[in-house]
Amino acid sequence: MHNKTLSEISSGLRNGDFSSEEITRHFLNRINQLDPQFNSFIAVTEEQAIQQARQADKMISAGETQALLGVPFAHKDIFCTEGVLTTSGSKMLENFISPYDSTVAANLKRAGAVNLGKTNMDEFAMGSSNETSFFGPVKNPWDVTRVPGGSSGGSAAAVAARLAPAATATDTGGSIRQPASLCGVTGLKPTYGRISRWGMIAFASSLDQAGPITQTAEDAALMLNSMAGFDPKDSTSVDQPVPDYRANLNDSLKGLTIGLPKEYFASGLDPKLENIIQEAISEYQRLGATVKEVSLPNSSLSVPVYYVIAPAECSTNLSRFDGVRYGYRCAEPINLEDMYTRTRSEGFGDEVKRRILIGTYVLSSGFYDAYYIQAQKTRRLIQQDFVNAFEQVDVLMAPTSPSPAFKFDEKTADPLTMYLEDIYTIGVNLAGLPGISIPAGQLDGLPVGLQIIGNYFSESKLLNVAHQYQQVTGWHKAQPID
């Protein structure tokens, strides 16, 4: 049963092929048996999941038909979930039990979905490899000597290994799309503001966006239907109606114009990986699409701009973790200053401390104008490049990652090399656009993802474009273990 997609599970529950409790227990057993080798979960909520499944079965028997009713999934451990451990992958929150649900958690609970547990992640979502988690690295199910990507590596690995049919995730600079690419699954980063950030532990508030990781685009549409929507508790949430994202999945792609950013196909991209991406684009041409080269002239500035803005916002957001109100507190502090200093020194990992220091520096007097303001001005130029491109094309296509999954410790010694893993994804976050990564091939037995970028609030079009590709190819069906 673990090979079924989210949509197939939903249909099977409605048809009475199996019960929610039955399939929930199946996934829980699979997690208990297989996850010790992957470390994709921080917490497994077995008792709660079975209770939710039993309640869902009663509702299904009573004739209720919500699409996610009784369907199992997993939460990235960045979403506050009432009564459940919520750590954000950090020692700082290793014992924090959330007293409330995030909006995303509440929406999925209201839809009747069954939460299997909380997935592992880079600490406070800071990382591209899932090596910074306090709870240990997540291992890629395709090759356990390699990383699954980050920061949503736990969610991507769990879906790839069929430990869960779907999982929530977050994307600040590519943290849904990049691990989706490295693990061979589908990952959707919606338009900024499409999904509420309330109750999602903040990293960089102007960049963070929740989204789903699934096996297929159809499943991503199913998840997005329940996750999206306006939330008055989130000042950045957009008050715009939520369409049925499944309604246009089967639309023809004839007449679609695809833009290929020439800067994304330049030096630094593995030539073998580029060939895989070009073959995927050729498949779209066979489906009736046309291709046009476009330019994003300021895209080379995305990484440096991101690593000014994101650390600045992280420095501010993480100032709340001081040992006073909740979370980790150092033992026997001498005074208040000692408590602050030792709590933060002991509670945060190296990558988090590095970004806090960078962020504090660029926001400090004398450097704010030189770094932070200039980064924000350049961010506007990057956004305008995308606006100009979408005046000519319907979607953009590019690699998701410059290489397949790399080995553990291969890039941790050089943070700048690690940061370049997000070179094709960061611009989408800076501009607030939607993007999706879908499996498009394999290189040396490792998955390769195709990234599709859309204009604002064009998630329906992205899902349609992705779904049509998955109807004529089988890369999304490939799995690392039975």
295 is annotated as an active-site residue: no
76 is annotated as an active-site residue: yes
Cβ neighbours of residue 58 closer than 8 Å, sequence gap 6 or more:
none
**Contact predicate 130/87, CB 8 Å:** no
DSSP structure string for 348-375:
S-HHHHHHHHHHHHHHSTTTIIIIIIHH
**Contact predicate 149/119, CB 8 Å:** no
151 is annotated as an active-site residue: yes
**Contact predicate 195/104, CB 8 Å:** yes
Distances, alpha carbon 455 to alpha carbons 4, 76, 243, in Å: 31, 26, 16
Catalytic residue, chosen from 7, 10, 40, 76, is: 76
Per the omega criterion (within 30 degrees of 0), is the bond before 205 cis? no
Q: Which helix (H) or strand (E) holds 396?
A: strand 395-399
Q: Edge-to-edge strand order for the sheet containing 166-171? A: 41-44, 114-119, 72-76, 166-171, 209-214, 186-189, 435-443, 446-454, 395-399, 257-261, 290-294
Which residue has 């350049």 as its token pair?
378
Cβ neighbours of residue 71 closer than 8 Å, sequence gap 6 or more:
6, 9, 10, 13, 20, 112, 113, 114, 165, 166
Burial of 254: CB neighbours in 10 Å, binned 0-12, 13-18, 19+? exposed
Burial of 16: CB neighbours in 10 Å, binned 0-12, 13-18, 19+? exposed
Catalytic residue, chosen from 20, 102, 151, 226, is: 151
Q: Is the dihedral of CA 282, 284, 290, 295 positive or negative?
A: negative
Candidates 42, 147, 129; CA nearest to 91 is 42
Residue 439 forms beta bridges with which residues?
449
Q: 95: helix, coil or strand? A: coil
Distances, alpha carbon 181 to alpha carbons 233, 345, 402, 431, in Å: 32, 34, 10, 21
Q: What one-letter code names the amino acid at 451?
A: Q
**Contact predicate 435/180, CB 8 Å:** no
Please tell me the number of Cα atoms within 13 Å of 474 on its side-chain side.
2
The residues annotated as belonging to the active site are 76, 151, 175
